[in-house]
Amino acid sequence: MADASALSGADNRKRVVFLGPPGAGKGTQAERLAAHLGLPRVSTGDILREAIAQGSPLGQQAAPLIEKGQLVPDELLIGIIRERLLAPDCAPGYVLDGFPRTLGQAESFAGMVRGGAAALLVFDVEVPRAELLRRLSGRRWCPACQATYHLDNKPPRVDSTCDQCGARLIQREDDKEESVARRLDVYDQRTAPLREYYETRSRFHHIDGHRPVETVFQDLRRILQERA
């Protein structure tokens, strides 16, 4: 079993957390920020979708929950993240996307990091609900390389085809209307309370996510520069 204390590193490690409802643009911004900082983006949603594609026991357990828009149990997620953050590429830091999503996850995660929640830089991305619905209904996704598109905002160059790997794009099952309503409710009930948790414990920034991708990203870079 991995030793969680090994997750603690030098204090100049960058540990970034993205909070925000489904569709807020966490994945989009986390990917850009991770590339900018030269750190891995760790998306628990991507890890779970990969497990589903491989048909692993984790995938079999997670699939029906994800499809219905429910959360996967904390014990599973905490185990996944503990193992992932011990990988050598996370040694200099990491950008988390989609974790933590419950108070239990946040508390366990704080216990894995030297300095606890105070060592985290947290971006809470806010977007009005009508825009979230528009983004989620138009999101398209590559099951081969996990790239994300949007029918209006970020269409692929060739219809329904991934620019990066040429695979056929799909709509995620959980982006269909029935699941989306459930996911937004689950966010309000289980994840929104994390804002209060981090606001008082971490370096916490509200981000207006209802702006063009590049404008939001410039804001994140400015905040990082100010802290450097």
Binding site for ligand AMP (CB under 6 A): 22, 44-45, 48, 65-66, 69-72, 77, 98-101, 105, 174, 183
Catalytic residue among 14, 41, 140, 183, which? 183
Nearest Cα neighbor of 46 from 180, 148, 176 is: 148
Task: Decide whether 42 or 216 has the Cβ nearer to ligand AMP.
Answer: 42
Is residue 139 annotated as a catalytic residue, yes or no?
Answer: yes
- Told to check if 153 binds ligand ADP by CB under 6 A, we report yes
Say which residue the tokens 């699941």 belong to.
179
Spell out, one character per residue from 174 to 213, where the chain touches ligand ADP: x when CB under 6 A holds, - when not: --------------------------------------xx
**Cβ-based nearer residue to ligand ADP, 84 or 135:** 135
- Distance CA(216)–CA(226), nearest Å, equals 16
Shortest Å distance, C-beta 80 to ligand AMP: 8
Considering only CA atoms, which of 186, 148, 160 is closest in space to residue 66?
Answer: 186
Where is 140: in which H helix or E strand?
Answer: strand 139-141
First to last CA, the chain: 35
- Answer yes or no: 14 catalytic: no
Cα separation of 95 and 120, whole Å? Answer: 10
Catalytic, 195? Answer no
Asked if 190 is an active-site residue, the reply is no
Per-residue binding string, ligand ADP, 70-109, x by CB under 6 A, is ----------------------------------------
The CA R_g of the chain, rounded to the nearest whole Å, is 17
- Of the candidates 26, 32, 84, 140, the residue annotated as catalytic is 26
Q: How many residues bind ligand ADP (CB under 6 A)?
A: 19
d(CA 18, CA 4): 22
Q: Is there a catalytic annotation at residue 201?
A: no
| CA atoms of 129 and 10, how far apart (whole Å) | 39
- Of the CA atoms within 13 Å of residue 100, those in its CB half-sphere come to 27
Closer to ligand ADP at the Cβ: 91 or 213? 213
Could you say which residues in the range 12-51 bind ligand ADP, by CB under 6 A? Answer: 20, 22-28
Shortest Cβ distance from residue 226 to ligand ADP (Å)? 21
Binding-site partner at residue 206 among ligand ADP, ligand AMP, none, CB < 5 to 8 Å by type: none
What is the pairing mode between strands 121-126 and 203-208? parallel
What span, in angstroms and rounded, lies between the C-alpha atoms of 109 and 129? 28
Residues noted as catalytic: 26, 101, 139, 172, 183
